Amino acid sequence: MFLFTRPESYRHFARAGFSNFVSTEDFAEKYGFEKVSEQFVQECKSKAVLYKHKKTGAEVMSVSNDDENKVFGVVFRTPPKDSTGIPHILEHSVLCGSRKYPLKEPFVELLKGSLHTFLNAFTYPDRTCYPVASTNTKDFYNLVDVYLDAVFFPKCVEDFQTFQQEGWHYELNNPSEDISYKGVVFNEMKGVYSQPDNILGRRAQQALFPDNTYGVDSGGDPNVIPKLTFEEFKEFHQKYYHPGNARIWFYGDDDPNERLRILSEYLDLFDASPASRESRVEPQKLFSKPVRIVEKYPAGEGGDLKKKHMVCLNWVLSDKPLDLETELALGFLDHLMLGTPASPLRKILLESGLGEAIVGGGMEDDLLQPQFSIGLKGVSDDDIPKVEELVMTTLKSLAEEGFDSEAVEASMNTIEFSLRENNTGSFPRGLSLMLRSIGKWIYDMDPFEPLKYEKPLMDLKARIAEEGSKAVFSPLIEKYILNNPHCVTVEMQPDPEKASRDEAAEREILKKVKAGMTEEDLAELARATQELRLKQETPDPPEALKSVPGLSLLDIPKEPIHVPTEIGVINDVKVLQHNLFTNDVLYTEIVFDMSSLKQDLLPLVPLFCKQSALLVQLLVIIAQGQNLNHCYSHHLQLILPELNLNFTFLYCFVGSIVLVNFLIVCSQSLMEMGTKELDFVQLNQLIGRKTGGISVYPFTSSVRGKEDPCRHIIVRGKAMAGHVEDLFNLAPWPPSRMCRAAIALCVNCILQEVQFTDQQRFKQFVSQSKARMESRLRGSGHGIAAARMDAKLNTAGWIAEQMGGVSYLEFLQALEKKVDQDWIGISSSLEEIRKCLLSRKGCLINMTSEGKNLMNSEKYVSKFLDLLPSSSPVEKTTWNARLSSENEAIVVPTQVNYVGKATNIYDTGYQLKGSAYVISKYISNTWLWDRVRVSGGAYGGFCDFDTHSGVFSFLSYRDPNLLKTLDIYDGTGDFLRQLEMDDDTLTKAIIGTIGDVDSYQLPDAKGYSSLLRYLLGVTEEERRKRREEILSTSEVGCRVYRFSPKDIIIMSIDSEVEFFLDLYSSLILLKEHYLHHVLSLKDFKEFADVIEAAKHKGVVVAVASQDDVDAANKEHPNFFQVKKAL
């Protein structure tokens, strides 16, 4: 019997060991590269080497460090000349099969069966990025190879049907029916162009850059996409997808020489090309005078349309790229003006009462020329000039008067803390660095410079200390904004008829297309439609599937990821401590019980707290200096991480409680009201100066096996270890001790000292929250539908919907009027919420840091708890409410739909098994992907199983269909019953599920996920049991074999010393050859009977257009109860 370590570890060891005998330069020379530059980047503790491939000119950045989360990316400059969306459609299409991997979508096979920590692609206005990441070296190189083959040798340039599927095509099922447009990107962009904020951003960019590539939409305008031809599509790939036009990035702890060897296998197949010269982006010349444009946007018929205008002022700051120090100073200036609720430009605009919410992204520097945008939405048509004047007078005042020293210190600390912490959440650190570097590198500038912030930061701080902040920031405001004529003002006017006009115009175009066809043409189109659908719905042959490299179950750790957790008690309160390396940052959560709160106060909770609707992942990207405003993603789950990826570390054990955090739209009072001694500006500055950030938000979820839901308020904070005393010593320090008790005063003020007396500020919160909810209805309708269905099926879902769904929007609409009528009553209700929450009873403390910091914190935790009341003055209440179970259609002005259907499968008697995780993921990545997205034309379709509540839900995103999608959901049971699956397919499904369970986490996320498991009663024993069940989906009923020496074939030792690797591979092949999955397929077929409950008893909620809802109710009378939300 032989014992072996994991093969990917040994592969790395063997090659790295052999590489030590050969210099890096010799390896580079051997594989056709020359070293351009080598630097050690202290900020990310990495050795970075820039290479150039001699034959093609391809540039490669090889970054080596001890980060196990390895990242690869290849980026091409892809400047479009029109708005047909070529770069975007190509980005989708190249991942649909290639030379080595000739199946329909290798990308989906990787989603199914790899341990990736990132797998996506995205399109900018001038470049296209293809990044992957994994902590498993074998898996990582598999991903790299699939992506390299995809971008350089895609099938799509020879396959017209892929172009039709991902881009656009005419669809005709029967010559007697109407022709329609279909295509994944086409429908994705229809959704984009249904959202007013997106329309505003695109119109502003195009007006700012009329003379270069930024003057068109790289994502594609739905009105222009059908003008794209297959020939133009092919030519674009041939022209720009060449190594000479590529920037290639490697990052992590894998062997840097192996990286060059892998690349050489592809790059050596090409010759030099002029692509790099032809793809250069020319700068936009600055205007001599400002420009103004007026656009219409689709609006609902409800509300006062005169108060639904939008206005935004936009500048291009320079006719050429800026140096790093100026960029850094402008970034600080942006944060000073807009970064917090207390920032003066943001504060003055919102307090003016001229609009409901801020629009414009502030400073953006991800393109060749930096921009600045600011404005308001929810503006009365009469107040448009007042908004423009207020923006300019405020900027002028800031230039003349400068900024408060405390504000400067707060911004400096906030940005510096973020840079040094380098907390990118579930977004790989290497990818964050890649995007930062590419921002310069893609324009032929120094790729190292953006990685090195230390010197520019110190220089800026020194300059501020020496010259004063006014001398630094005032000239920037004057030069780049006030005295800059390159300004475009965009006014957006609401038009309730625009959506129907656009649909009518599209129907008229298609009517003319059909009128111009002969009977033979129509018959051919119907035949081509059926042929495309048949191809889309026909599985790949087994031999094609086997071409995609994968892992073995022997590559998968048998034990779940361990998070050290020590449970203690301080002052009768449980304290969870996680001893993990955090680089001297202390992360803490203070959990309060919400069970004594009256049911009718629930909708006020989001306004009582402070929690942005933007997801942690996206916030982290922005904090790291990245901007995805201009970015289109290949895969739905990057730009909409709420679908599961943002919180994948909770996937198997928390389920759709993710949705709850996502649905808390904009809770504000605690963080944005003043106190007895500090106004809210001083409070925010104090938080910025002395902490890494504090947030307060509600958390609710069903708990499996219990009637009562989990319902808490969580206060999250982080600070350097030197401020631990401040973090927990919550005594109300007098102002003279403010600096010493930084976070102490912050948290104390937030929890106990905030005054709910500022009526006008509270009304602003309500207006801002209402505006954000209205935006979510259009852009994230799947989240709204999911929340609504949950509210019909369980109490926890009802609670969440009251705090973040359509019910919450309706509450906000009524509250906006009530603030003026009954402010005393509202203020009293907010105070009642505080009294119900603040108590040691039911309180829990969670801390994550190094052991010494945790030990040092205990005495401060004790002091903090002493200050809390021992019990709540209000008794625990029982919440047992649900929405009525009829099917609902939430009607909004949109060109696409979001279709949901759900049921509680525990009500059928189903008992949770680990195989359910494998099956639900398989359904999403096969049946729903193929039928809802590929064949149906939606941007996304997926299912979700909340193991705590038992709710199994189907959802689609940017979907051109409604009833057809529901039919697909109802066909899931038959799909599972008819399923045939070989060993390889099942192994992929298991490995992909484990990849979700084991998704990469930084230390703070590990501590936080452990806290949530504790709150939900998920034990380590249950985690192990579920993991065993997942893995045994393939092992139940398998024969057991022992290997003897005669079973082993020892291969010859090659030049790269892979001696043990071949021995190990032989064992793997033998083991997998003897796997017989006797009961695994039975699990899938048994689950089909469970899923039938959704077909017969499921609730349906769709966020959809009026036309599609009317058509559905005409086909099935009274199928939907209609609710107009906008």
Confidence band (pLDDT; 50, 70, 90) for 746? Answer: low
Q: First vs last Cα of the chain: how many Å apart?
A: 69
Look-up: residue for tokens 């750790």?
557
Q: Return the pLDDT at 1056.
A: 33
Q: What are residue 895's phi and psi, to 5 degrees?
A: -100, -5
How would you classify the pairing of strands 1099-1104 and 694-701? unpaired
Q: Which range is least confidently modeled, 72-86, 728-742, 846-860?
A: 728-742
Q: Return the pLDDT at 1064.
A: 38
Q: Return the pLDDT at 1010.
A: 96
Confidence band (pLDDT; 50, 70, 90) for 613? Answer: very low
Considering only the C-alpha atoms of the chain, give the largest distance between any 2 of them, rounded to a whole number of Å.
88
In DSSP terms, which residues pair with 368 in a beta bridge?
A: none
Q: Calculate mean pLDDT across residues 921-938.
A: 94
Confidence band (pLDDT; 50, 70, 90) for 748? Answer: low
Q: Are 6 and 14 in contact (CB under 8 A)?
A: no
Q: Which range is least confidently modeled, 607-621, 937-951, 995-1009?
A: 607-621
Instruction: Annotate 331-351 with b (16+ C-beta within 10 A) or e (fewer).
Output: bbbbbbbbbbbbbbbbbbbbe
Q: Measure the CA–CA gap between 345 and 873, rounded to whole angstroms.
A: 41
Confidence band (pLDDT; 50, 70, 90) for 637? Answer: very low
Q: Which range is least confidently modeled, 37-46, 368-377, 625-634, 961-970?
A: 625-634
Report how far Cα 1119 is from the mean position of its chain's Cα atoms.
34
Average pLDDT, the chain: 85
Highest mean pLDDT among 156-165, 730-739, 823-832: 156-165
Q: Return the pLDDT at 23.
A: 67
Q: Measure the CA–CA gap between 624 and 44, rounded to whole angstroms.
A: 13
695 membership: H or E segment, kind and range: strand 694-701
Tens-place pLDDT, residues 827-875:
999 989 988 888 888 899 999 999 999 999 898 888 888 888 887 777 7
Q: Calculate mean pLDDT across residues 119-147.
A: 97
Q: Calculate mean pLDDT across residues 317-332.
A: 92
Each as own residue / partner, the long-range contacts of residues 926-931 (CB below 8 Å, 24 or more positions apart, any chain) are 926/112, 927/968, 927/971, 927/972, 927/975, 928/954, 928/968, 928/972, 929/108, 930/536, 930/537, 931/537, 931/968, 931/971
Ordered DSSP codes for 132-201: EEESSHHHHHHHHHHHHHHHHSBSGGG-HHHHHHHT-EEE-SSTTS--EEE-HHHHHHHHHTTSHHHHHH
Q: Return the pLDDT at 669.
A: 58
Q: Calculate mean pLDDT across residues 144-169.
A: 97
Q: Measure the CA–CA gap between 258 and 438, rounded to whole angstroms.
A: 23
Q: Measure the CA–CA gap between 1098 and 363, rounded to whole angstroms.
A: 46
* 73 has pLDDT over 50: yes
Q: Calculate mean pLDDT across residues 911-938.
A: 94
Q: Return the pLDDT at 682.
A: 80
How would you classify the pairing of strands 666-667 and 898-904? unpaired
* 351 has pLDDT over 50: yes
Report how far Cα 688 is from the mean position of its chain's Cα atoms.
25
Q: Measure the CA–CA gap between 1092 and 1090, rounded to whole angstroms.
A: 5
Q: Calculate mean pLDDT across residues 321-332.
A: 92
Look-up: residue for tokens 């906000």?
812
Query: 3-state secondary structure string, 224-270?
Result: CHHHCCHHHHHHHHHHHCCHHHEEEEEEECCCHHHHHHHHHHHHCCC
* 296 has pLDDT over 70: yes
How would you classify the pairing of strands 888-891 and 1121-1124? parallel
Q: Return the pLDDT at 25.
A: 80
Q: Return the pLDDT at 752.
A: 67
Q: Return the pLDDT at 588.
A: 93
* 1113 has pLDDT over 90: yes
Tens-place pLDDT, residues 800-812:
999 999 999 999 9
How would you classify the pairing of strands 122-123 and 127-134? antiparallel
* 726 has pLDDT over 70: no
Q: Is 360 left (phi over 0), alpha (psi -120 to 50) or beta?
A: left
Tens-place pLDDT, residues 25-69:
888 999 999 999 999 999 999 999 999 999 999 999 999 999 999
Q: Are 242 and 270 in contact (CB under 8 A)?
A: yes
Q: Return the pLDDT at 621.
A: 28
Q: Calculate mean pLDDT across residues 1028-1055.
A: 45
Is the sign of the CA dihedral 512, 515, 521, 527 positive or negative?
positive
The rounded percent of the chain whose pLDDT value lies above 90 is: 70
Q: Return the pLDDT at 633.
A: 55
Q: Measure the CA–CA gap between 883 and 995, rounded to whole angstroms.
A: 35
Neighbours of 581 (CB within 10 A): 10
Q: Return the pLDDT at 42.
A: 95
| Length of the chain, in residues | 1126
Q: Are 715 and 587 in contact (CB under 8 A)?
A: no
Count the alpha carbons within 13 Å of 486 in the hemisphere toward its beta carbon: 20
Extract the tokens encoding 408: 């400067």
Confidence band (pLDDT; 50, 70, 90) for 24? Answer: confident
* 1072 has pLDDT over 80: no
Neighbours of 397 (CB within 10 A): 14
Cα 514 to Cα 84, 415, 1032, 1053: the distances in Å are 22, 58, 55, 66
Q: Identify residue 1068 by its one-letter amino acid code.
A: I
Q: Return the pLDDT at 1034.
A: 53
Confidence band (pLDDT; 50, 70, 90) for 670? Answer: low
Confidence band (pLDDT; 50, 70, 90) for 301? Answer: confident
Q: Is 353 helix (H, G, I), strand (E, B) or coil?
A: coil
Highest mean pLDDT among 295-304, 626-635, 1023-1032, 1097-1106: 1097-1106
Residues with catalytic function? 91, 166
Q: Return the pLDDT at 921.
A: 94
Query: 3-state secondary structure string, 1063-1085?
Result: HHHHHHHHHHHCCCCCCHHHHHH
Count the alpha carbons within 13 Å of 121 in the hemisphere toward its beta carbon: 28
Q: What are residue 391's phi and psi, to 5 degrees?
A: -60, -50
* 657 has pLDDT over 70: no
Q: Calculate mean pLDDT across residues 390-400.
A: 98
The rounded percent of the chain whose pLDDT value lies above 70 is: 85
Q: Residue 248: CB partners within 8 Å, gap ≥ 6? A: 58, 59, 60, 61, 72, 73, 74, 75, 263
Q: Return the pLDDT at 381.
A: 95
Q: Measure the CA–CA gap between 84 and 90, rounded to whole angstroms.
A: 11
Instruction: Annotate 992-1023 with b (16+ C-beta within 10 A) or e (fewer).
Output: bbbbbbbbbbbbbbbbbbbbbbbbbebeeebb
Q: Is 978 helix (H, G, I), strand (E, B) or coil?
A: coil
Q: Return the pLDDT at 318.
A: 96
Extract the tokens encoding 140: 């990582």
Q: Return the pLDDT at 837.
A: 87
* 623 has pLDDT over 50: no
Give the alpha-carbon dihedral of 365, 638, 103, 1080, to 10 degrees. Answer: 160
Q: Measure the CA–CA gap between 415 and 688, rounded to whole angstroms.
A: 9
Is the sign of the CA dihedral 431, 437, 441, 447 positive or negative?
negative
Q: Return the pLDDT at 688.
A: 81
